[in-house]
Amino acid sequence: MQKALIFFATVLITVTAQAKIFGSTLEDDHQALIEAGIAKSCRVNPFVLEQLDSIESVVRVDQGVEDVYFTTQLKMKERIDQGIFNNYSVTVKSILFDQYDHENKRWGAYVVDSVKCTPSF
């Protein structure tokens, strides 16, 4: 019984520590910036996000420096009332610059370039 309890506690901690955007393989810092960009640009809150697709393209800048450009397609649900939701299609363009991120103390800095929210019916 005690082993089962420890197992379920470990699974619960693992699941809650994973990504904030359902179905996303993007890093947590990147996801947090995407969520902040959507909250600011789309002016909806609270919302739930599900990643549908993400396309990466690498741009060689100079002498081994490579920036990665992301185009991420998301489905967003905004809760209006109990059982009532507005649905949106969201396209986020973001960049991973090949530079040192002083805030997170690691190499690679994420920036959200643009957010487009479109109501879907």
Which of 9-18, 59-68, 89-98 has the largest mean confidence?
89-98
| Full-model pTM | 0.77
Whether 39 contacts 51, CB under 8 Å: no
In this structure, what are the phi and psi dihedrals at residue 120, rounded to the nearest 5 degrees?
-120, 140
pLDDT recorded at residue 1:
52
Tell me: the pLDDT tens digits for 89-115?
999 999 999 888 788 788 888 999 999
How many Cα neighbours within 13 Å face the side chain of 121? 0
How much is the mean pLDDT over the chain? 84
Tell me: the pLDDT tens digits for 16-33?
344 489 999 999 999 999
* Calpha distance 117→74 (Å, rounded): 9
